[in-house]
Structure formats: C-alpha cells, structure tokens
Structure 1
Amino acid sequence: MKRLGIVSKLTLWYALSMVIIVSLMLIFLMYIGKKITTDSIQKRLMDTVHTVAKEIEYEDKISDEDDIYIVYGNGYIEIDEDSLKGKDGIFIALYDKERGMLYGDLPAGLQSDFSKQLQQIRYNGVDYYIYDMMLNEIGLENIWIRGISRPMESFRDISKISLMALYTFPLLVLTSVLMGYIMAKGALRPIENIRETALNIGSDLDLKRHIDIGEGDDELHKLARVFNDMFDRLHESFEKEKRFASDASHELRTPMAVITAQCDYLNSVKLQNSPDIAEYVEGIEVIHRQAGRMNKIIKNLLDFTRLGNNAYNKEIVDLSALIIGICKDLKLLNINDINLSEDVEDNVYIHGNRDLLYRMFINIINNAYVYGKEKGSISVSLFTDEKNIKVIIKDNGIGISKEKLVHIFERFYRADSSHTGKGTGLGLSMAMEIAKWHGGNIIAESEEDIGSTFVVILPKIKA
C-alpha cells in the first residue's frame, strides 16, 4: 500500500467506499422491502380470517339454499361458500378440534397445532403464515377458523432483485474502479503540473517560470499561487543578490586597481637612482585612502549580514536625547555652511538598539549634507501620533528625479554620479534595513532642484 501512488490509493479508496455504500443500500432496501411485504401479508391474513368469522353463523334449520350448511350438533353451521375459497394466496378452512376439518381447502401436508398467535411454518423450503381464530358464538364454541397464507409474487420479485444485484455487483466494482481512477487522475492533474514545473525550475534554475493549472479558486489553485509568489520572491531575491555581488565586486575592484597601480608606480620609482620621498608619501596616502574605502565597504557588508542574522540586542532608548545629540555634534562640523535645525518632542522612547538607531539617522542626515546646497538648510523633527514615532529629515538640496528615487535604497546605488567618491553607496540601504529591523519603514520624497524629505516611521512602545 505504501508503494502505491496517490492516484492508485484514491482509486482504491473510492472504489471500496462505493462498494460498501451500494452494498449497504441494497441490504437495507431488501430488508425494508421484505419487512413491508411480510407485514402486509400478515395483516391481510388476519383481516381475512376476521372477515370470514363474521360470515359464519349457527342455524337451527336451512334457510338459504345458496349457502353451505354443515350438520353440527343439533343444528347447522351456515357458511358463505365464497368466503372459504382462496383469496390471493390465502386459504381458509373450518375446524372442529375433535372432528378435524369440517370444510375448506388447505395445502396438502401442511399441519400445525392450533394457536391464537400468528405462526410461521417452513414447509418444503417455503415459509407459510398460519393464523387461527376460535369462534365464541353460541353453538360454535369448539369451532376454529384457520387461515394460511402462501408466498406472494412480491417475495419472488425480491429474490429476483437480489440475484440481479449479485450478478451486477462485479460490474459495479469495475465501474467504481474506473470512475475512481478518472476522478483521481483529473483531480490530481494540477499536482502533477506543479511537480513537473518544480522539476523544470530545479533543472533549469529558471525562477521566472510559473505554475499554470488554469483558472480556479480551490485549494490546489491557491497552492499554485503560493508557489508562484514564492518563485517570484526567490527570483527577486536572487537577482538582488546577483546585483549586490556584482556591485560589491565592482566597488572593491576600483580601490584595488588604484592600490595595485600605485604600488607598481612606487616600485618603478624605487628603481630610479634618486627616488623622490614626496612621491612615496603621496603614493602611501593614496593607498591608505583606498584601503580605508575598502574597509568601509567590507564593514558595511558585515553589518548587513549581522542585521540579517539578528545579532543585535534591544533596549529602551531615549530617542529624543539621541536625535538632539546627533544634531548637536553635526552642527559643530559646519559642513558647507549648511544650517541644521531640529524640532524634537520630549521624552520619546523606543525599544531598539541605540548604535543602530544612531547609525541610521547619521546616514540619512549625512546624505542630506552630501547632496545639499552650500549655505542651504536641513531640518530634523521628531513627533509621535497614536501608533508611531515619526522623524522627518528635510533638506533643500539638489533633489532626486522620480526615476532615480525608486532605487535610492538599493545597495551601492548613487543618484548623482558626481558624488561617487564621497561614500560607499550603502548608507541609505543600511538605514532602510535598520528601520525594518526595528519594525519600521522609511518613506522618501524628492523633487529636483528643490530638495528631499525622508520620513522615518518607527513603532511606539506598547503600554
């Protein structure tokens, strides 16, 4: 049984269920049919005996020549002859316990003791019903009326139906097996399509391929949609990882190429008779600067990995104090004469990691400085509503076009290539990951030559 396929198992279960149900139905119908027929025969037998009893009288003399008269005692038993004849399989006879049968017509050899209860006697393989009734009228005290009912056509019909059911039962089993197989095969065809598509995706590594099982809203179609959504997410994730690996290798290739070229140059200078110390110092500074850039990139990549592994702890952080401290420190730098102002609501706390929150806001505000205009302005505001904490960072810098705005949170993406040397391209991407790690989000709005607005939304501490 364990080696059978799902189609075979469903077929067997369906066929077995149909056989059991039909068998039970046939048994039930035959039982009910026989019971109803038997009850009808018994009732008709008793009613006939009672009717005949009302038509038998004791007379002193013969008064009606059309009736039958039997000498009994000092008089006669008057009998309506028609009432003693067989009536649809019912035989009627008149008995005297001492003298035996006085009149009637009964099946030969069928005998039994008199009883006031309905009797069932099997004779020559056939069941007969016998009903006796003793007369109580004056002059008829020892007279019994016996009624015997023989099997009717209805019993023979039931037997025929039973034989027909027995003969057609194998055909019913075969039909059930065939119908069960067709139904199971059709019902499981979408699963086979899912299996084949999954195998093709696994062999071709083509996550863009979807499972197509047609239109529908049953469980299998819902399962197919879940798989398709999963394939889409996996494809998107793999594409991002590929793009990330490509961008990371590209970002690291540039400083590595500069360092290699600088080393080759310094090596060639060393071969000269009188190397210039200034050239050595300048070359080492270039190598140091590029090595520092590589170190930042690698550190950021490691931080991304730690965020994905949930390697940071959470605590209650005074967000108001954190924002005020960041703004105070950045004001001291006086970058490009940009005016930094803050409007911070007091006593705003969050359940998070202080270092990550500090880094997120520093990255966003530094981005505003990098792309800000000289003598421009940056405003930072912190407030709360019923559900969330919101931090809005707004600048009047060069802004970002709508086409580029949708990509600014991607790793290594830079909206303005002229600022390539001023960062790793991971700042805003890291900020978004930190916000999501805290259960929040960042919404960016921007317009070219007018400025950008970043809204950081974080969950409030539940009371």
Structure 2
Amino acid sequence: MSLKWKWTFGASMAIFFTYTFFSVAIYLGFNQMMISQENSNVNDIMSGVASKLQVSGSNLTKEVVKESLTPKYYEIDVDADSRFLMTDTTDATADALFSKINEVGVIVAVFDPEGKKIYESRPSHTNLDKHATPLIEELFIDGKRGVIGTTPVMSAKNQSIVGYVQVINELDRYHGMINTVLLTMLLMGVLALVVSGVLGYLLAVNFLRPIKQMTQTMNDVRKDSQSASRMIVPAGNDELSHLTELFNDMLDKMQKYIEQQKQFVEDVSHELRTPVAIMEGHLKLLDRWGKEDPEILDESLLASLQEIERMKSLVQEMLDLSRAEQVEIHYKHEITDVKNIIHQVFNNFSMIHPDFTFNLDDDLTGNVKVQIYRNHFEQILIILLDNAVKYSTERKEIHISVAEDIYDIQIAIQDFGEGIAPEDIQKIFNRFYRIDKARSREKGGNGLGLAIAKELLDGYQGEITVESVLNGGTIFRIRLPIYHEDK
C-alpha cells in the first residue's frame, strides 16, 4: 500500500472514529436526559394522583377515584342555539395532571390496600408491588423499555395507607425520539465515513505533493548531475516550505561542489600542461645531444627544477583553494582575535621586507573576534600583502588600516604600485587570471592567490572589494562580521 493510501486510510479512520466517539457520547447523554425526563414525568403523575386521592379523605372506591381523576366541565352560552363544554381551568395543576394522564403510552392504575385494582386509565397486565415509599423502576413491555412507578396513597385524616397508585409509562415518545436520533446518527455516520475518506484523500494528496515533487527532482538530478530542476517553494511559512527551501539549498550546494570539482580538475590539467611540456622538451633535448654538452645539461636541469618548483607551488595553491571551498563544513566554529593576527602579519612583513615601509592604522577598541579559522585569516592577509609587495614600483610603501563598527570589521591594504586597469578589476578574482602573464610568472604568481582569498571570505560570510588606479596603486578592502559571545 502506498503512503498516499495509508495516509488516506489513517486520516479517514481518525476523522470517522472521532465523529463516532462524539456521536456515542451525545447519544448516551441524550438518552439519559430523555429517561430522566420520563422518570420525572412519572413521578409528577404519581404524586399528583396520590395528592388528589388524599384530598377525598375517605376509603378508596372506584367511584371516588373516577370522580377525582375525571376533569370537571361547565357550560357556556355562545348564543341561543349552541352551547360548549369547557374544562374547569380554575385549577391549573389539575389541568396539567389530566393532560399527562392522557398522554400516549401512560397508564394510571389505583389499587386498594389489599392490592385489588379499582381503577385503570387503560387496560394493563401488570401486578402491584407494594411499597411504603414512592419507587420508580425500569421494566420491559413486549421487549421494549418502559418505566413503572408506585406510590402509596395516604389518608388525609390519620396518614394511613388507603391505597396505591401505579403509573406505567411505555415510553412511546422516548422510543420514537431515540429511534429518530439513532437513524439520523447512522445516516450521518455513513456520510461522515464517505466525507472523511474524501477529506483524507485530499489531505494525503496535498501533503504528499512536496514529496512527489522531491522525488521527481531527485530523479532529474540523478539522470543529470547538472540539472537545474528544483522544487517549487509553496507559499506560507510552514514546515513544508522550510523543507523545500532546505532541499533546494542542499541541491545547490551539491551542484556547486560538483562544479568546483570539475573546475578543479580542468584547472589543474590546464595549468600543469605547460610545465610538463617544458620539462618534456628539456628531457628530449638532453636525450638527443645534451648529455655530452655541459652547458645544455646545466640549462635543462635548471629549467626542469624551476618548473618542478612551480608545479609544487601550483599544486599547493590548488589544494588551498579546494580547502577554501569547504570552510563551511570543516571550520565554521573557529574563532580568531583580529588584532593579534594583524599585528603578527604586519611585524613579519616589516621584518622580511626591510626595503618597504609598512604603516599600520589600528582603530580597534579591544579584542575584537571574528568567526574564521586563524590560519585562513592569516593566509588572506599574506596573499594581499604579498601582492602589494610584488606589484609595488618605485614607491615602496604599504598602508594597512583596520576599523570596526557595530557589526563588522573593515581592513584596507593599500599600495602605490602598478594598479589595475578598469577592464581587469572584475576578473582578478577568477582562477588563474593574470593581467600580465609573463610578468606574473616572473614574479612567481599562478593567478590563484586572490581566488583563494575571495573563496575563503565567501565561506565565512565576508567580502572583498578593490579600488585601483592604473599606475597609481590599489586598495583592497575586507569586511568580516564580528563574532559576539552571546549569539
């Protein structure tokens, strides 16, 4: 059975059983209320009849009972030719009692003290059970539920028992009402089952639609890892919309990692092709005639060693770039003190480049921390300062400034060197992009430094921007969010 039909069946049963539970509760409550009402009605008739017979104050006879329980009439003249009989309504209680006695299914019987029946409103076949106090019991008449009540009739003179009143209620009104309610509930139960089934199916289809879309999207991605197929985010702010957003985000990251891996392999293959070709050329040269020529041998060996060093540097930078793309996975909980690292890097560059003037403008008010791995933060600063040193010209001066606001730290590194043309500024963060490839190779660059720095900053929710004037210098600006202990 599919999940859709399981859900449909489960939802239908839940709705149906809920309806059934409340229906049974209502039925039982209504049944009890009706029985209580009928018992109260029997009790009113018993007490009313006993009260009327007590007033007579004499021994109970058939004539006395009949006279007490028969409504009295009087005549009124409407005109000379017609007369009407009207009940004596001066006693409202008596009028109500007579109405109850004459209800359908109600039988009133009166017995003398020995239990001999001396009056009954309708024929009945019940026997008298004498009781000294009023008593109402349940009985079954022709297999149907009924109520019987018995009460003694007391003498008005000496309060002795002069007879008994027996009231039988066949509960015709109760049975009619209960049967109607039961039939209605059964019909409503069938309707509720049908409606709950339809609602359960519609709910199942609605709730499983995102899962169906997810399955379809996963099939698309399985067939084509670069598929742009994504789930449609439903309107609203519920769990399904959150699940859809997370699923799409996961697919985006998977596709990004696949593209990065593909790009990594392509870049490595492309960049290693040149040094391998150079080494192959020198080895072939040595194989042909260079083994006997010391000058060619030295030149080929020197060139090959240089290319090997460049390959080692390239492979290391490619590994750094690959790690930079995964900082969210491996380094997302690392915290670093900004002031400490900046001063350390500043002192190191001042020492290893004594011919340069390094100026540090530190406006930090305290130990400001950022959520970044210490080595990565140091690596970003080294890349930018190393580029500033490499591309400086006659004015060997580099300015470093660091400031903070409520949310971020800002670092600026300025040199006064070659600068960058406007058409190249948007490309300098691309992998292996070099403005002047010949001059970059002479300076030892592979075109990966700025790509690594940007990838690292992106991974830590930071950003890097550049301002430059050709032959006037360059300013790189870094922004990183400040880490707060209470977040």
Q: In percent, how many aligned pairs have the same letter?
A: 21
Q: Which runs of 5+ in 2 are unaligned?
A: 72-96
| 1-structure distance, mates of 2:28, 2:377 | 81
Distance 1:157 1:415, change over 3 A: farther
Quick one: which amino acid aligns to residue 87 of structure 1? E
**Offset from partner CA, 1:373-411 (integer Å, 9 cap, x none):** 433642123566677665431123343456654554443
Which residue of structure 2 aligns with residue 65 of structure 1? none
Which residue of structure 2 aligns with residue 117 of structure 1? 135
Q: Does 1:195 align with 2:192?
A: no
Do 1:244 and 1:411's aligned partners in 2 also have CA atoms closer than 8 Å?
no
**Offset from partner CA, 1:403-449 (integer Å, 9 cap, x none):** 65455444323345454413012222344566678x68452221342
| 1-structure distance, mates of 2:374, 2:236 | 50
Which residue of structure 2 aligns with residue 259 of structure 1? 279
Q: TM-score, normalised by structure 2?
A: 0.76
Report 1:215-364 matches (<5 A): 215-270=235-290, 276-304=293-321, 318-319=340-341, 321-332=343-354, 334=355, 339-343=356-360, 345=362, 359-364=379-384
Report 1:73-152 matches (<5 A): 78-82=67-71, 86-98=102-114, 100-115=116-131, 116-126=134-144, 127-138=146-157, 141=160, 142-152=162-172
In the TM superposition, residue 10 of structure 1 has moved relative to its aligned partner by: 1.1
Q: TM-score, normalised by structure 1?
A: 0.79
Q: Does 1:185 align with 2:205?
A: yes
Q: Does 1:425 align with 2:441?
A: no
Which residue of structure 2 aligns with residue 20 of structure 1? 17
**Offset from partner CA, 1:205-262 (integer Å, 9 cap, x none):** 2342212366454432332222222222222332233222212211111111111122
Which residue of structure 2 aligns with residue 39 of structure 1? 36
Do 1:132 and 1:145's aligned partners in 2 also have CA atoms closer than 8 Å?
yes
**What value does the CA root-mean-square deviation take over the aligned residues?**
3.9
SS at match of 2:25: helix
**Offset from partner CA, 1:32-83 (integer Å, 9 cap, x none):** 22222212212222223333344444379xxxxxxx98578xxx99524237
Do 1:95 and 1:103's aligned partners in 2 also have CA atoms closer than 8 Å?
yes
Which residue of structure 2 aligns with residue 446 of structure 1? 467
Which residue of the other structure, out of 33, 37, 48, is the alignment partner of 1:51? 48
SS at match of 2:254: helix
SS at match of 1:242: helix
In the TM superposition, residue 182 of structure 1 has moved relative to its aligned partner by: 3.7
Paired residues in the alignment total 440
SS at match of 1:399: coil
Report 1:392-431 matches (<5 A): 392-400=412-420, 404-417=424-437, 419-421=439-441, 422=443, 423-431=445-453
Do 1:207 and 1:232's aligned partners in 2 also have CA atoms closer than 8 Å?
no
| 2-structure distance, mates of 1:396, 1:90 | 116
Distance 1:38 1:387, change over 3 A: closer
| 1-structure distance, mates of 2:373, 2:147 | 96
Which residue of structure 2 aligns with residue 211 of structure 1? 231
Distance 1:440 1:47, change over 3 A: closer
Quick one: which amino acid aligns to residue 299 of structure 2? E
Report 1:149-164 matches (<5 A): 149-163=169-183
Structure with more relative contact order (C-alpha pairs < 8 Å, separation 6 or more): 2
| 1-structure distance, mates of 2:195, 2:404 | 71
Do 1:69 and 1:79's aligned partners in 2 also have CA atoms closer than 8 Å?
no
Do 2:35 and 2:174's aligned partners in 1 also have CA atoms closer than 8 Å?
no
**Offset from partner CA, 1:276-309 (integer Å, 9 cap, x none):** 5333333332222222111111222344556659
Do 2:115 and 2:128's aligned partners in 1 also have CA atoms closer than 8 Å?
no
